[in-house]
């Protein structure tokens, strides 16, 4: 056990999504003291996902919240301390990096920023004011409030389709609004959509205005991108699933421009809105200021890629990539 003060650790991780919990788990298994900070609850976007089918080891799929809970429990089992406080400031200038929350200041030899992504908004008037009153970015969180009612999902990717399928099981009718004439989602979803009789597609349409009365959502006005025609769809809720914007990469890029000089940056998020641009911005900032970086350019990447990179670096540092060092002949 470490004799360090309660607010000092070997490693601090900011963000308790799958990436943050995995980083904490790896560090703790290496004998380091670890604190993972999360302002709400561990799990990140995974905890808001109804069903996960592309995670290895679960042939029948897994519920997102359960998988997130298991990740959290596994990290706790290895001694990771999860602190539910919002990080409001950092100071990476000294040998001991400082992380500031409303409850105090914490220090660590190393800090890992794993803040993931935040949902992208439609940018329509009244959107903020109607959040929690019919506008939502999480179907599994808020869908039950609209059980038996008509709802709208905006988007055409995996998240939007997953939300529509989930809502179709509990709502009267689901309108799926997409700006194109075909979905961007994985083809495996097509058969499931075809089986749901209460999902209506609204193709080639973009949201123009969120309709409301008495401070609650009453529907959505959409515009046909080909004809310019307007249509008003009556519904009790609008679920927005138009992608996520990566926050960690952009934050690190800003910090590097402001003077931060990390020993290494690994940038391999997958397929988010602006993910290509954020990788390019980060890589450019690293190149301009001499910061080493490993990035998977384009839309490909993900936590498995990040884990592989970290694993290779650990083996390399231990000279374990040399067959002779591993005892091979």
The catalytic site residues sit at: 138, 141-142
Would strands 97-101 and 89-91 be described as parallel, antiparallel, or unpaired?
antiparallel
The three-state secondary structure class of 41 is: coil
Q: Determine the straight-line distance between the first and last CA of the chain, rounded to whole angstroms.
A: 39
Give dist(CA 91, CA 93) in Å, integer.
6
Helix (H) or strand (E) holding 244: strand 244-246
**Rg of the chain taking only CA atoms, in angstroms:** 22
Q: Of 265, 261, 321, 272, give the one whose Cα is nearest residue 298.
A: 272
Q: Are 75 and 43 in contact (CB under 8 A)?
A: no
Closest CA to 40 of 120, 108, 109, 138: 138
What are the DSSP calls for 97-155, one per residue?
EEEEETTEEEEEEEEEE---EEEPP---TTTTTTBTTTEES-HHHHGGGGTTSEEEEE-
Q: How far apart are CA 15 and CA 64, in angstroms?
A: 17
The DSSP 8-state label assigned to residue 82 in this structure reads E
Residues 46/64, Cβ–Cβ less than 8 Å: yes
**If 0-12 CB within 10 Å is exposed, 13-18 middle and 19+ buried, where does residue 233 land?**
buried
- Two tokens, residue 214: 């008495």
């Amino acid at each position: 056990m470490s004799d360090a003060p309660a607010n000092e650790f070997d490693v601090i991780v900011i963000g308790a999504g799958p990436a943050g919990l995995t980083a904490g788990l790896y560090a703790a298994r290496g004998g380091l003291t670890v604190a993972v900070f999360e302002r709400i609850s561990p799990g990140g976007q995974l905890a808001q996902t109804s069903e996960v089918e592309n995670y290895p080891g679960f042939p029948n799929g897994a519920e997102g919240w359960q998988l997130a809970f298991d990740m959290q429990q596994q990290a706790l089992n290895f001694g990771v301390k999860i602190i539910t406080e919002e990080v409001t400031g950092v100071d990476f200038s000294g040998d001991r990096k400082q992380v500031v929350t409303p409850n105090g200041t914490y220090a660590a030899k190393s800090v890992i920023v794993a803040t993931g992504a935040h949902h992208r908004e439609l940018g329509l008037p009244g959107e903020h004011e109607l959040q929690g009153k019919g506008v939502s970015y999480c179907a599994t969180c808020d869908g039950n409030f609209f059980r038996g009612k008509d709802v709208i999902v905006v988007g055409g990717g995996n998240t939007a389709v997953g939300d529509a399928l989930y809502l179709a099981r509990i709502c009267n009718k689901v309108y799926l609004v997409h700006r194109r004439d075909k979905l961007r989602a994985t083809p495996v979803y097509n058969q499931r959509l075809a089986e749901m009789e209460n999902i209506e597609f609204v193709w080639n349409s973009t949201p123009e205005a969120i309709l409301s009365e008495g401070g609650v959502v009453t529907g959505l006005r959409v515009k046909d991108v080909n004809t310019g025609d307007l249509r008003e769809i009556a519904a009790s809720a609008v679920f927005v699933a138009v992608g996520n914007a990566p926050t960690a990469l952009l934050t690190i890029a800003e910090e590097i421009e402001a003077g931060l000089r990390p020993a290494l940056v690994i940038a391999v998020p997958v397929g988010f809105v602006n993910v290509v641009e954020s990788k390019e911005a980060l890589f450019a900032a690293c190149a301009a200021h001499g910061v080493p970086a490993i990035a998977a350019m384009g839309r490909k990447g993900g936590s498995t890629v990040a884990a592989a990179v970290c694993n290779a670096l650990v083996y390399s540092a231990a000279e374990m990539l040399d067959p002779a060092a591993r005892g091979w002949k």
